[in-house]
């Protein structure tokens, strides 16, 4: 079996669902169920004995040690993290705790477990660390996209904490020989995306008749990848990635934020027109910029394509249409995640 951490979050849950749709290899899912973790994302697996869920912290050494020795996974995939840049600006502590200390403790427990395996199991074992393009910092217009050789220049507490975790993973390979793989991916979008991030927030606010808050001039550029393509890249790297290597994952799809919001509005105008006949674009509002806002991210995913033959299956046009449709079809899920502490966050942050 494989051990997935953070498998009740956005990308982790998509990964677990995709994995079990394609393989009978069981998944042990360790997730702390923070505000971002939601068992509703995994509701379709209820009663499926191939999925074992454990609520817990990657930094809980005794728990992780027990899970490893009881379940004997052949791989550990680390998705667990605090992942929202704006939250890291308001309060970095949890990011340091989970992304740095948590990853460190997980690595220590995995190293001890791996050391106790027989030679064959040791050689076959993998620790795959899921990371972000944000560790490379910000690009100027016209600068080439990030390759795996780009220097680390993280600018937010979030990206700095992810950068630290990447360095620890690298060091555990270099120093202890732990068979690690790291993926650095661009912005994901798709089903089960928590509506604090740009695309789901815009869909949910548009449908709720609320403002669509665009930071600064809206000309910040991100590369966007449909989440299922990220999952297929991770499966491919796990299967055939070279030990100790880093693979950048991206969608070859750089777009300014304003264009993303415009596309979301156009799709909603088509699929669920406003009753007053106006466009959802009317709800766009420019708000104060994020402090230290990175201007541009772009990923060069040639290495992954060249070495492992991976390419995204979705274009932005197909992926964003599926995503908007998913939110329209899953209003109960949205209602479930936008209650309580979510509302409090939105009120504080956008005040």
List residues with catalytic annotation: 133-134, 158
| Dihedral angle, C-alpha 130, 219, 331, 28, nearest 10 ° | 0
222 near ligand TYD, judged by CB under 6 A: yes
CB of 159 to ligand TYD, least distance (A): 8
Residue 243 is encoded by which pair of tokens? 């030990």
228 binds, among ligand NAD, ligand TYD, none (CB under 5 to 8 A by kind): none
Other Cβ atoms closer than 10 A to 124? 11
Q: Judged by CB, which is closer to ligand TYD: 228, or 235?
A: 228
Binding site for ligand NAD (CB under 6 A): 5-6, 8-12, 30-34, 36-37, 57-59, 79-83, 98, 102, 130-132, 162, 185, 187-188, 194
Of the pair 248, 257, the CB lying nearest ligand TYD is at 257
Please say whether the beta carbons of 123 and 177 come within 8 A. no
* Binding window for ligand TYD (CB under 6 A); candidates: 8-16, 193-201, 238-246, 318-326: 193-201
Nearest to ligand NAD of 5, 283 (CB atom): 5
Task: Tell me how far apart the alpha carbons of residues 180 and 202 are, in angstroms, rounded to a whole number.
Answer: 36
Say which entry of ligand NAD, ligand TYD, none residue 201 contacts (CB below 5 to 8 A, set by partner kind): ligand TYD
Burial class for 223, CB neighbours closer than 10 Å (0-12, 13-18, 19+): buried
The tokens for 37 are: 């973790």
- Strand segments (E) across the chain: 2-5, 27-31, 51-55, 75-78, 126-132, 180-185, 187-189, 212-215, 221-226, 246-249, 254-256, 284-287
- Cβ proximity to ligand TYD: between 53 and 215 the closer is 215
User: Binding-site residue total for ligand TYD (CB under 6 A)?
Assistant: 12
Contact footprint for ligand TYD (CB under 6 A):
85, 187, 197-198, 201, 213-215, 220, 222, 257, 290
């Amino acid at each position: 079996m494989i051990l997935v951490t953070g498998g009740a979050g956005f990308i982790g849950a998509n990964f677990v669902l995709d994995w079990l749709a394609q393989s009978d290899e069981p998944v042990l899912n360790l997730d702390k169920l923070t505000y971002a973790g939601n068992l509703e994302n995994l509701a379709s697996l209820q009663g499926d004995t191939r999925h074992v869920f454990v609520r817990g912290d990657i930094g809980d050494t005794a728990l992780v040690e027990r899970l490893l020795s009881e379940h004997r996974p052949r791989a550990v995939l680390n998705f667990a993290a605090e992942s929202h840049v704006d939250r890291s600006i308001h309060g970095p502590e949890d990011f340091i705790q989970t992304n740095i200390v948590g990853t460190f403790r997980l690595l220590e427990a995995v190293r001890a477990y791996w050391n106790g395996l027989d030679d064959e199991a040791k050689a076959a074992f993998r620790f795959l660390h899921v990371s972000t393009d944000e560790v490379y910092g910000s690009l100027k217009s016209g600068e080439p996209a990030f390759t795996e050789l780009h220097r680390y220049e993280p600018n937010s507490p979030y990206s700095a904490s992810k950068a630290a975790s990447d360095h620890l993973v690298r060091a555990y390979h270099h120093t202890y020989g732990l068979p690690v793989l790291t993926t650095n991916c661009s912005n994901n979008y798709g089903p089960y995306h928590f509506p604090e991030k740009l695309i789901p927030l815009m869909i949910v606010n548009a449908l709720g008749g609320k403002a669509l808050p665009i930071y600064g001039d809206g000309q910040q550029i991100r590369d966007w990848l449909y989440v299922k393509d990220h999952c297929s890249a991770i499966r491919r790297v796990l299967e055939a990635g070279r030990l100790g290597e880093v693979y950048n994952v991206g969608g070859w799809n750089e777009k300014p934020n304003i264009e993303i919001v415009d596309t979301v509005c156009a799709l909603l105008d088509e699929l669920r027109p406003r009753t007053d006949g106006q466009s959802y674009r009317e709800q766009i509002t420019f708000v104060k910029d994020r402090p230290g806002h990175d201007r541009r991210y772009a990923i060069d995913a040639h290495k992954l394509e060249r070495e492992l033959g991976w390419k995204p299956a979705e274009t932005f046009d197909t992926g964003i249409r599926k995503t908007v449709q998913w939110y329209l079809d899953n209003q109960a899920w949205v209602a479930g995640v936008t209650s309580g502490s979510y509302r409090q966050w939105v009120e504080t942050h956008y005040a």
